[in-house]
Structures are given as structure tokens and as C-alpha cells.
Amino acid sequence: MSLSFTVSDTIPASKEAIYTAWLDSEQHAKMTNTSAARASNKVGDTFMAHDDYITGINLELTPFSKIVQEWRSLDFSDEEESSVITVSLEAKDGGTLITLTHSKLPAHCTQYESGWQTHYFEPMKKYFAGLKAGSSS
């Protein structure tokens, strides 16, 4: 049986900034506070994040509002199918509501629900807040 969950948070940046950063190698690494990422803004292209811990393929890209990716980590066995993430971006006062649905996860991957907050949303808040602070000086 596979797992599925949805998490969300508000990030202090525009939908355009988040979408662009998610699909750009250098910005993805910076916004997640890791040393290496490889990203692309083309459907069918592969990506890598968190220093080769995560790999996948862009399945659907709707500029500035939705990213759908086939996603797997080093925690998956070779026999396990890749999971799917859907990232939805909605403009809100003071930033963007990011809603992430992670589906088709292997049953042993229960830690990923909190992992999105710890390894993506929190570092993203710091990254984009720092960009805002830097642009106003």
C-alpha cells in the first residue's frame, strides 16, 4: 500500500520567484540550502536535488502555478516505483501559498511528510526572506 499526503506553507516570495527557483539548478540548491542540484524547466527533463539524494523527471509544468514531478530518493529500493509530487503555487498577501501533494510513496517513507517542511519550506522561507532583505537595502 502506498502513502499520500499534502503539506502547505506560505513562502515570502512571488509565485514566479518560487517556480523559477524550483526549476533552476543554482537557485534550487540555494533555496534548499544544499550544495548540489540539477534542475530544468522542460517537461521530460531529469532533475537531481539534495546532493543526489533525490532524482526524478518533470512530468507537467504550468508556468508560475504548478509543477508535477516523478520523484524518488535513495530510500527507495530498485523494485519500488517512483512517487509523484504536485507543487501548486497561489498568490497570498505577503507571499505565496505552496501546497505540495506527495503520492505513490512506499509505505516505509512516512518521514517525508515532515521532511518537506524541514528540508524545503523552512530553508525556502529563509532564502526568499534574505533576498527580500537584500533587495531593500
133 has pLDDT over 80:
no
> Per-domain residue ranges for the chain?
3-135
Residue 67: name the closest of 87, 84, 53 by CA.
Answer: 87
How confident is the model over 11-28, as a mean pLDDT?
97
- Specify the pLDDT at position 38: 97
137 has pLDDT over 70:
no
C-alpha–C-alpha distance, residues 49 and 36, integer Å = 7
Q: What is the mean pLDDT of the chain?
A: 94
Give residue-wise pLDDT tens across range 62-119. Answer: 999 999 999 999 999 999 999 999 999 999 998 999 999 999 999 999 999 999 999 9
- What CATH architecture applies to the domain 3-135? 2-Layer Sandwich (3.30)
Q: How far is CA 42 from the centre of its chain?
A: 15
The percent of residues in the chain predicted with pLDDT above 70, rounded, is 98
Going from the C-alpha of 82 to that of each of 9, 31, 69, 93, 134, the distances in angstroms are 24, 24, 10, 35, 38
Q: 29: pLDDT confidence band, cut at 50, 70 and 90?
A: very high
134 has pLDDT over 90:
no
pTM here is: 0.93
13 has pLDDT over 60:
yes
